[in-house]
Amino acid sequence: MPKVGVVLSGCGVNDGAEIHESVITMLFLDRAGAEMVLMAPNIDQLHVINHATGKEIEGESRNVLVESARIARGEIKDIVDVTSEDIDALIFPGGFGVAKNLCDYAMAGADCSVNPDVFRLVSEVHSAEKPIGVICISPAMMGKVMEKMGEKVSLTIGNDEQTANDLITMGAKHVTCPVQEIVVDKDKKVVSTPAYMLAGRISEAADGIEKLVKEVIDLI
């Protein structure tokens, strides 16, 4: 039974992990017979967004690990306690939490930096030649990690011109991709899919994520 790490970035699309993408990922991993190792960094969120209004809630603070535990039903690890030896593959669902909490791409664009604990685990897993799946906006984070490691990788975020240009600035190759499909860099063992960068319906996001999960497991 393969062990697949899933890195969450909070709970809610605007300030944490995209809940649909996270649950879909977990569902298809379970259907594939994989054991999941759910994790998140033990840090404060950048900010808290009222998802009913889309506005920031002033003066409120939430913890990424605590919020991610909602999606994980409490079965979650602090990412500092996970190494590449504990897992066979790694997957990042999307959501603004990736671009605000796991890295600061939402604020800094191509000049972003990645949370040190996230960078450590991604670089460990990649150096061990284990597959990594990145969903939605997560390829922006992956592009920065690979840039810092001095490697080039093929990724997709769908067809958003600004994000694609940022990936290219980081040294990645961006591949335009429809929502139901995936881009596979077999040499680097990195798989990406647009999901809600393009999806108008949950079923559209699910089609691409199902293919991503299957490909990640096949690459183990």
Q: How deeply is 60 buried, as exposed, middle or buried, from its count of CB atoms within 10 A (0-12, 13-18, 19+)?
A: exposed
CB 37, CB 87: distance < 8 Å = yes
Three-class DSSP category at 123: helix
Closest CA to 215 of 114, 133, 150, 130: 133
Point out the catalytic residue in the list 11, 103, 112, 136: 136
- Residue for token digits 């909602």? 70
In sequence order, the 6+-apart residues with CB closer than 8 A to the CB of 132 are 89, 90, 91, 92, 122, 125, 126, 142, 189, 190, 191, 216
Q: Measure Cα distances from 12 to 35, 64, 72 in Å.
A: 24, 11, 13
Decide if 177 is catalytic: no
For helices 19-31 and 64-71, give the axis angle rounded to 10 degrees.
50
Residues involved in catalysis? 136
